[in-house]
Amino acid sequence: MKTAKTLASTISAALLLIAAHARATEPLDALKEANPSLYQLYNNYPMYHDGLRDYANKQGFRRPIENLATIVHEIIHIDSFVHQGFFVDGVYYEPYLRADAWPSLTNEQVRPYLRDHERGSIYRLYALNTPRNHLGNIVDEINVYGHVLPFVCKAEPESAEKQVKNLIGFLHLSEGYLRTLRTMMPGEYIQLVRNKETRGILVLVIQRAWKALRACGVPEQAIPAQEAAYFVQASGTAK
């Protein structure tokens, strides 16, 4: 019995040491392992770390991994702006947020046409407070969440729900945009389909978001995808 108790105590102590080591090495080591390009990006902007860490805490992202993910989230926005291209796994894609590359429809204009299920927390907290933003800005947010969600799901799954909810909220907005363009502004919809750069980043970002949600265990029926699927289909026939 003494041997068993001694062994149990040894195992318990070892587990405590492992846990302590994990706390010391994470979350940056976890980020480096999960996504080296995001780890490098984080290290490119040390001047923002402290301020963004405080911002993340104030936003309620206080667990270690979700806090780091929020910092990285904002740094992706900053880096995309600096390079005037959407950061996707270390590559920058045009046209970024150039107004002439995106349909003229804005958050303010699309609001009346959004369906009830598209008016969730992201609608209330984001769309209502950014009336002049357009589809490109929605893509920017989807892109950022699509990058950080896999990291959070793998390293701190108990914090994934917030990220999932926000990403789905932005996908709902993109669905509302695409449906409104398709049904009420067909000329701009066709123009969007035919613009190789814009449709390319739109499709790439949304499909990456779908993949991230599936990998996080989100059921297929919970992923907003109908209008984007129509758009992908139309893009396949575009010249």
Residue type, 229: A
Distance between CA atoms of residues 191 and 189, nearest Å = 5
Distance between CA atoms of residues 68 and 8, nearest Å = 35
Residue 26: the pLDDT is: 83
Query: Would the pLDDT of 73 be above 80?
Result: yes
**Residue 54 CB neighbour total at 10 angstroms:** 11
Q: Which residues contact 48 (CB under 8 A, 6 or more apart)?
A: 71, 74, 75, 78
pTM, whole model, 2 decimals?
0.88
| Residue 7, domain member (yes or no) | no
Domains held by the chain: number: 1
| Residue 5, domain member (yes or no) | no
| Residue 122, domain member (yes or no) | yes
Calculate the CA dihedral of residues 65, 74, 61, 33 and round it to 10 degrees: -10
What is the residue-averaged pLDDT of the chain?
Answer: 91
| Residue 3, domain member (yes or no) | no
| Residue 80, domain member (yes or no) | yes
Structural domain for 147, as ranges: 30-236
